[in-house]
A and B are shown apart, each in its own frame.
Chain A
């Protein structure tokens, strides 16, 4: 089914409707957005929001002082265009997203999901998530490269969803390397 974006008017401005589903509340989009921000169980102050939706949650997140920096990832091109009209920079491909993350985020980050925006393309977002977070081979390779380690070439790794505790075993062993030893520490802690 092709994506069809429409808008309905509300006293807070236009609300996007994708394939017949509203991406924010018509009556209380701001309260809803605030509640969304509060609900997020954040472990990092560098954030990536999956789904722009109507953008109210982004506006609320901008007000949050604990959110040091954030990026917006939106796969729907029409919504991405809509976001631009509201003055937001939106990333639309996973490759570009990872490239910017590597340049902008020095260490940890976390993904926040705006469910109404992503639920119609859940599979694509999941794929992007696994890639970005290093849970799939290509993403893992890039993650390990960031810490100067290499993946141990093994075909069996292709279909795996990678786990933190097994990171050291996915790498080519470098017993003298600080980062390799740290991954082993992690493995022991998470045993």
Chain B
């Protein structure tokens, strides 16, 4: 068995998939090869399970492209040569771990059979994904929806891996071992490669001072690349008296330090994925374009803080139109400092109180692995349970659809219902009195969602949307997207809804839409999701009615 993984995006995206590759190798054995950009080869030592590396030298290609003495097809020939090499390797599987235009074109250019490829590409005049999970990822992107799953779960499901969350024993060399402090410490990653995701030095100083109010003992290691050391020493040198140490290190050392730490505090950077396989929880400050639900810290009991803003997360490519980064401003230094301490202490009661207190400003999410091994971000704070249940119904329903199970076969939803039951009992069931208000609120929210859905569906109706120009089509599509995102209805009048959808999509927008297979597929899936959610809710209702 010979497998090629392709990861042609950012370093963080590549590191995030480390455990997917490792688990795949554990399950399937054989030879693993990985194609990455040459500039990320320095991370190779974190992947001892990879047998062979292939790289694309992006910088060399950029240089060739900038020189007038080079034939315009020189880079093309270099790529062609690479593709021929891949085709001649006779891989059993070629798996793209990124879902972008580049990987789509790359896979489309390869002359490989469908059974060999997982990833989006054009094959035999149609788009082939190799897995419904990759197709889902594509639909989420195309329709600007919110993913119900973490990217790691999407890829591990596409590859048939039951779970990748496992503790890893690092093999440490002498120099790495020597750099690990003997005393207890926490790690902070202050920098990121995006201004939107990075607090100012002044804010970090404040954060540390607030943390120090609660913990004067533990050392604070500020991880950084060797190239950042001088700058950080200048900016934070004065904090030495607060037991703060600037720690320049390479990736293997950073990984070892994180694995031994009591806590890692970081914005959305590649560093957070080094905690995977350890017991070290991550306090992730999800700022700017960081999409916690797809790329959040994949470590049990990690905590993700995100500003409660309409624009959050923003687009990766767009500059923030505000005078200052409001998502950063809303996350106060005191809140972060205190949360750090309680998180380090695993004091979830205190964190829950903080989450309730700051419910309006900041969303607190706790990363958990559900009974079915899927990652789930539970919102914390008073009143969050109903919202979590909605997300859980949604996730469970999508699992049924993406595992290509018969959506009419209600008997086989037992596992999904069991996951939700268990979550409900763990989170809320201390007594029937305790559960009753939660469920009442849950019902009330569902009712609100239903009204919202009806409103959206009405906006799609032929009467209100008679013209067939592109602007209206886009508007309608947006409405479908919104519905797709928000509708978690459990009591939907299904026949009426279906009728409205048929009128809206096929009636008003006509042939243009009916030929759009992606749209039709999404609509089909919407119908399935509604049916499954309704059935699951009936199963759960029976349970709690018994309890009450």
Contact = CB atoms under 8 A, between A and B. Distances in A.
Nearest to A46: B71
B72 A164 contact: yes
Interface residues of A, number: 38
B65 A190 contact: yes
Contacts of A190: 61-62, 65, 75
Interface residues of B, number: 34
Given A108-B77, A147-B73, A188 B68 contact: no
Contacts of A143: 71-73
Find the residue from B71, B78, B108 having the highest chain A CB count within 10 A.
B71
A182 B101 CA distance: 12
B109 A185 contact: yes
Interface string A32-52: 000000000001100000000
B74 A183 contact: no
B102 A188 contact: yes
B47 interface: no
A111 interface: yes
Nearest to B124: A176
Contacts of B67: 43
Contact of B65 (A130, A147, A164, A183): A164
Given A129-B69, A175-B108, A175-B122, A182 B76 contact: yes
Interface string A115-138: 000000000000001101111000
Contacts of B322: none
A179 B79 CA distance: 10
A189 interface: yes
Secondary structure dominating the interface of B: helix
A146 interface: yes
Contacts of A25: none
Interface string A142-166: 0100110000000000000011110
Find the residue from A43, A113, A182, A185 having the highest chain B CB count within 10 A.
A185
Interface string B55-97: 0101011101101111111111111110100000000000000
Contacts of A146: 73
A132 B111 CA distance: 30
B430 interface: no
B80 A133 contact: no
Interface of B: 8, 56, 58, 60-62, 64-65, 67-81, 83, 100-102, 105-106, 108-109, 111, 122, 125
- What are the 3 tightest A-B residue pairs by CB atom distance, in nearest-first order? A134-B72, A188-B102, A181-B109
